[in-house]
Structure 1
């Protein structure tokens, strides 16, 4: 009996974190939180911003023009995300924390500048450059936590880290509920400049991970992008690209169009414009809570049944919840409550992104890890930009929001056939 108790006590023990590891995690988490807030601000202020800026740019602010311009600008934003692969080689060469701070500086400054836009062209440029910074933050934050945290804690660290992005969704919804409703879309973009403070703290207080320092000291300089495309890594690189592309398509199809869908359903239920906006903010908060719970549930599940099976469970959940919310509840006569209920389920399985924070670092050695992470995420964003543009065109052509978004559930079904080609890294330590 005592032996069993001793084993449980040992199992509960974890390697303590030092001050730099704690500060580094909270810096990465805060950056990822503000990154999520920043990227979701656009979805929340899309209609009021374009309603004001389109006439100044020579276009009528009709619902169709707002929808089309919104899709084009968001596709441009995703292209900026795609170009963020430039941060990976820089981080492999110059260090994780310095480049992480640079990504935060970039997206914070240009999000703040978006508040000064006088036409849609300026807004598009500011969002494009902000996207370059936002896209790099995940790769650098995920790489940092994987390398800086002890082996027995880094897996849960990946789940904790990923909650930040969706806490950012919740924060954006709360700001929209308060600041946005009372002070307008420009004030919302101004709040996106706050992360500059986080970047400064990271530069001043966080040390480089020892794993990177050791690898940097003994590594003969190679071209990391060429190496991840070489024989040793080619297959896992492209499989990861495909799986991340599927996850990104589902995330943006559901999350970006969710506020507009809720506003439409609320208006159909007879709510005023202000109440519709508040309902959309509350629904976004519920979506975010569901996703945070999904992120926290994922690492223990991945340790129990493996990385590939866990992703299959989450992809299947995404397929069902997207089809049920946008393809079924959206078209019910009184569909607002069922749609919002399904958003919670969609949010939970949207926590599949936490798996990539855990899994991608396990597939690549330290000297190319940041490059691989950044490349795989960027590839998915390029494709996501094209899909987002097609979705906007489909919404305009079909004159409905639900069916085009519901059809994205099919990509998760495709993903179930791709997962078997990925490597299973359950039980393996982080490669040096």
Structure 2
């Protein structure tokens, strides 16, 4: 029988290596997601594959459909297989998918590559979110998530830079070859340095290893209550627990908020350059808008994380969604180029971090043993919005109405705000919530 240890104080210094590895993997995630939008104008101008705005939107939806499957599968299986194996397989999948796109002789093969990449991209995000939430310093969970998600936008900026630097002279295929780098860089580092979750180790019967990881990173000693139940029965129980008293109404509300947020993230990431081009801006300026909105996203993650730790993730997410609606609706007008750059940058501050604060709120709704599953299903169901976003953007661009596209994105932001606002009310009106769930709600709304 082991004696619980007294862990050292957990801080960004003690868990820095874990945060850095998660940052790196999500950086490559953001690069792979945004590379499609970055080369979209070049794909549409290349007659060899036969891309049209409609087929490009459909291929974008294949990507996000793969992400949906990846998120649901990874979020449910990670407590059984472990965090590290799922991270490694996810990174490997989207690297292989990028290589397949670079070699694609047809739209069908290209779409298969994007679907395969989507499986890996969808699987990575909920696991990275769960790892950061578990290892984050006390009372710094939202800030930690925000810091990690800056990497997504840094990756998006690099993807845009690669599109601007490589595609005009070397073709869009060269940009996708850069997507093979994650398997060569991130996978060896994860194998060597990323620790496994103490709760997962405890569930596997590796008690001494669980205690060692907890001691090294300043985590509390894992308890059986924090260890996921093993086997197929445990996977079913983890999903069923999302609808236990205290969360059964909050769960679908989180799904709706995630749907709206990911519709915005992937719809805008895929179609912003083409929407701006349809609004009358030049090709180079239109692609640059994607880099600018991701730069705003980096600032937004830092601001939102600190604000959410102080005022609550639910409140900040709702405010951010409303501000996103205002910014996207304003883009209906053909603004002077400098003003348009400013509006896009400011909109990026709100747009991406509104969704991340949904994840932060999710982490407070579920107990530790259900957190990875809860995040997996919130991101997974939310991927239906990521499927709809690129397809909807393609339909709008095909009709030549850029203003309608921006109005649609604004409406999605209002839907997200309404859903996330109702989460605290739904939980307060449920009887039978545990004391732990009630305490977690206070952390999400205070």
TM-score range (shorter-chain normalised) is: 0.7 to 0.9
User: Could you say which residue in structure 1 is the equivalent of 2:326?
Assistant: 320
1:216-270 deviation per Cα after TM superposition (whole angstroms, max 9, x unaligned): 65344322223324445322221110111111112223232111133445xx46x
Asked if 1 retains the 8 angstrom alpha-carbon contact of 2:318 and 2:354, the reply is no
User: Could you say which residue in structure 2 is the equivalent of 1:305?
Assistant: 311
- TM-score, normalised via structure 2 length: 0.82
Q: Offset at 1:143? A: 0.3
Q: Offset at 1:74? A: 0.6
User: Could you say which residue in structure 2 is the equivalent of 1:22?
Assistant: 16
Q: Indicate whether 1:76 and 2:62 are aligned.
A: yes
Stretch deviating more after TM superposition (85-94 or 250-259): 250-259
1:358-406 deviation per Cα after TM superposition (whole angstroms, max 9, x unaligned): 2222221222221211111111212431353234223323x22232232
Q: Indicate whether 1:280 and 2:281 are aligned.
A: no
User: Could you say which residue in structure 1 is the equivalent of 2:354?
Assistant: 352
Q: Indicate whether 1:365 and 2:367 are aligned.
A: yes
1:29-68 deviation per Cα after TM superposition (whole angstroms, max 9, x unaligned): 111111111111101112323443x545xx5x6xxxx211
Q: Offset at 1:189? A: 0.3
Stretch deviating more after TM superposition (312-321 or 349-358): 349-358
Asked if 1 retains the 8 angstrom alpha-carbon contact of 2:325 and 2:410, the reply is yes
Asked if 2 retains the 8 angstrom alpha-carbon contact of 1:139 and 1:373, the reply is yes
- TM-score, normalised via structure 1 length: 0.84
Q: CA separation in 2, counterparts of 1:154 and 1:421? A: 22
Asked if 2 retains the 8 angstrom alpha-carbon contact of 1:303 and 1:426, the reply is no
Asked if 2 retains the 8 angstrom alpha-carbon contact of 1:159 and 1:357, the reply is no
1:140-192 deviation per Cα after TM superposition (whole angstroms, max 9, x unaligned): 11100111233244332111011111111111112122222321110100101
Asked if 2 retains the 8 angstrom alpha-carbon contact of 1:159 and 1:358, the reply is no
Decide whether aligned partners of structure 1 residues 386 and 361 sit closer, same or farther in structure 2, where only a CA change above 3 A counts. same
SS of alignment partner, residue 180 of structure 2: coil
- Which of 33, 37, 52 is 2:31 aligned to? 37
Q: Indicate whether 1:151 and 2:138 are aligned.
A: yes
Asked if 1 retains the 8 angstrom alpha-carbon contact of 2:54 and 2:394, the reply is yes
Q: Offset at 1:298? A: 0.9
Decide whether aligned partners of structure 1 residues 164 and 171 sit closer, same or farther in structure 2, where only a CA change above 3 A counts. same
- Which of 188, 202, 206 is 2:194 aligned to? 206
Q: Offset at 1:122? A: 0.2
Q: CA separation in 2, counterparts of 1:204 and 1:38? A: 23
Q: CA separation in 2, counterparts of 1:17 and 1:32? A: 18
User: Could you say which residue in structure 1 is the equivalent of 2:250?
Assistant: 236
User: Could you say which residue in structure 1 is the equivalent of 2:263?
Assistant: 249
Q: Offset at 1:421? A: 2.2
User: Could you say which residue in structure 2 is the equivalent of 1:343?
Assistant: 344
Q: Gapped runs of 5+ residues in structure 1? A: 1-13
User: Could you say which residue in structure 1 is the equivalent of 2:403?
Assistant: 402
Q: Offset at 1:338? A: 2.8
Decide whether aligned partners of structure 1 residues 44 and 361 sit closer, same or farther in structure 2, where only a CA change above 3 A counts. same
Q: Offset at 1:427? A: 5.6
SS of alignment partner, residue 159 of structure 1: helix
* Mapping for residues 94-109 of structure 1, pairs under 5 Å: 94-109=81-96
Aligned residues: 394
Q: Gapped runs of 5+ residues in structure 2? A: 1-8, 206-223, 428-439
Q: CA separation in 2, counterparts of 1:16 and 1:382? A: 36
